[in-house]
Amino acid sequence: MAVSATFLAVIYPFLCGLGPYLADARGPPGVECILFNEEYMTCIWGSRETLKANYSLYYWYENRPPVVECMHYLQDQGVSVGCRFNESEIIQFQTFHVLINASLGGRTLKIPSEPMHLQDLVKPEAPVNLTVHNMTGNQLQLTWASPYPKARCLEHAVKYKSNKDTSWTEHRVKGDVFSLPSVDYEKYYTFYVRSKINSYCGNTQLWSEWSVPVVWGSNSTSKSAAEEQLHWFWFHTVFIPIACLFLLILVILLVRMERVWIILMPRIPNPSKNFDELFIIHNGNFQEWAGVPKDIVESFKPNYSENICYVSELPIKDSYETLQENNNRSPLVVPSAPPAPREHSPYKNSYMGV
């Protein structure tokens, strides 16, 4: 009791001087320390919006002097809001003490913090290398690895759901293997894993972040939502613009270049133009239009002549007398041969005889 009274008597003048500023800062800042995967630790006591004074941190381990100031302050736009400790500065299973100095206007206020046990402040890194194995029947087995150096000190949580489920199912797991006894091959499943220190190595509620998901399912639905989004992203942002650009270039070529039109859409020839000269200039004379020599044209013309015999008809009376005279001269009457058929002559009133 006497110690508390003495401590209050010492810090009372500083509280009076810094009271208005600390009131604006919503009271003395609390220190929150987290040991990340036993590789480094951060102690945060505020943010730039809530801090009005200049703060510095001093720490020491119980029964291990001396008191040491933070060597790596975390800054937020020039304001110290935390301290980072390297692995060499961390000692587990030793009580850890922190003292904050608040300085303003040449005055300093020392604000002690509650003692801490670092083994209860460990936050492991998220599991990696998630793998799904097909077992006998409809059983699946999920395995993973942890970057935390003491795997025996970890417990894990697995959450999963299928593409038909609306909520996640979560299970606590002691080791690094999880079995799902029954699955539907018409669905696909998404799995996440996270870790924390178990009760044998510490007393903490700090879970790691969820791991990168792993997906299992049938070939028709085995793509994860991220893969489908990536597929549509490339389709909308790459394929469609390239296709539109290609079509635009093709249209420009078809409009501007007649040769492309001729190659892609050849015209049907009109033969009537080739015969305009035949009917207009040469009046349908094919030999003249075709350029056939005149001697060849003359050779095809008919070239022959025949002797023409002119025959005239006698009057009937004269022919009878002539016949009587002939009968008187010759007692033998020989029937005359029938007259040969007569052909019409090209000459009028004439016959041609052979």
Asked whether residue 202 is domain-assigned, the answer is yes
**Of 63, 21, 61, 70, residue with least CA distance to 43:** 70
What is the CB neighbour count within 10 angstroms for residue 156? 24
> What mean pLDDT, rounded, does the chain reach?
74
CA distances from 149 to 30, 36, 146, 182 (A): 30, 12, 8, 33
What is the CB neighbour count within 10 angstroms for residue 251? 10
Q: Which residue range(s) make up the domain with 154?
A: 125-222
Model confidence band, residue 315 (pLDDT cutoffs 50, 70, 90) = low
Asked whether residue 275 is domain-assigned, the answer is no
The pLDDT value given to residue 16: 40
The pLDDT value given to residue 143: 94
Same domain, 218 and 228: no
Task: Answer whether residue 98 shows pLDDT above 80.
Answer: yes
20 — phi, psi (to 5°)? -60, -40
Same domain, 149 and 195: yes
- CATH number for the domain spanning 147: value is 2.60.40.10
Higher local confidence (pLDDT), 45 or 19: 45
Residue 285 identity: N
Residue 322, by phi and psi: left (phi above 0), alpha (psi -120 to 50) or beta? alpha
d(C-alpha 257, C-alpha 255), whole Å: 6
The pLDDT value given to residue 45: 86
Model confidence band, residue 4 (pLDDT cutoffs 50, 70, 90) = very low
Highest mean predicted confidence (pLDDT) among 43-47, 302-306, 328-332: 43-47
- Report pLDDT digits (tens) over 168-206: 999 999 889 999 988 888 888 999 999 999 988 888 889
The pLDDT value given to residue 271: 63
Asked whether residue 187 is domain-assigned, the answer is yes
Asked whether residue 181 is domain-assigned, the answer is yes
Same domain, 93 and 7: yes
The pLDDT value given to residue 145: 94
Same domain, 236 and 212: no
Task: Answer whether residue 88 shows pLDDT above 80.
Answer: yes
Same domain, 202 and 237: no
User: Of all residues in the chain, what percent carry a pLDDT higher than 90?
Assistant: 27
CB of 58 closer than 8 Å to CB of 99: yes
CB neighbour list of residue 93: distance below 8 Å, 6 or more residues apart = 117, 118, 119
Same domain, 78 and 164: no
Choose one of 99, 120, 141: the last residue of a domain: 120
Residue pointed to by tokens 């020039």:
78
The pLDDT value given to residue 93: 87
Same domain, 143 and 96: no
Same domain, 129 and 218: yes
Same domain, 116 and 129: no
- Report pLDDT digits (tens) over 196-239: 999 888 888 899 999 999 998 864 444 445 556 666 667 777 77
Choose one of 120, 138, 155: the last residue of a domain: 120
Asked whether residue 155 is domain-assigned, the answer is yes
Q: 0.75 cut: is pTM over it?
A: no
Choose one of 69, 92, 120: the last residue of a domain: 120
Overall average pLDDT of the 260-279 stretch: 65
CB of 141 closer than 8 Å to CB of 214: no
Same domain, 217 and 238: no
The pLDDT value given to residue 8: 38
- Report pLDDT digits (tens) over 26-57: 334 578 999 999 899 999 987 666 666 788 89
Task: Answer whether residue 350 shows pLDDT above 60.
Answer: no
Burial 336-345 (b: 16+ CB within 10 A, else e): eeeeeeeeee
Highest mean predicted confidence (pLDDT) among 5-19, 136-150, 231-245, 294-308: 136-150
Same domain, 218 and 233: no
Question: Domain count of the chain?
Answer: 3
Higher local confidence (pLDDT), 42 or 113: 42
Same domain, 166 and 178: yes
d(C-alpha 243, C-alpha 184), whole Å: 40
The pLDDT value given to residue 247: 86
The pLDDT value given to residue 154: 93
d(C-alpha 138, C-alpha 102), whole Å: 63
Highest mean predicted confidence (pLDDT) among 163-167, 234-238, 257-261, 301-305: 163-167
CB-based burial of residue 227 (10 Å sphere; 0-12 exposed, 13-18 middle, 19+ buried)? exposed
CB of 227 closer than 8 Å to CB of 254: no
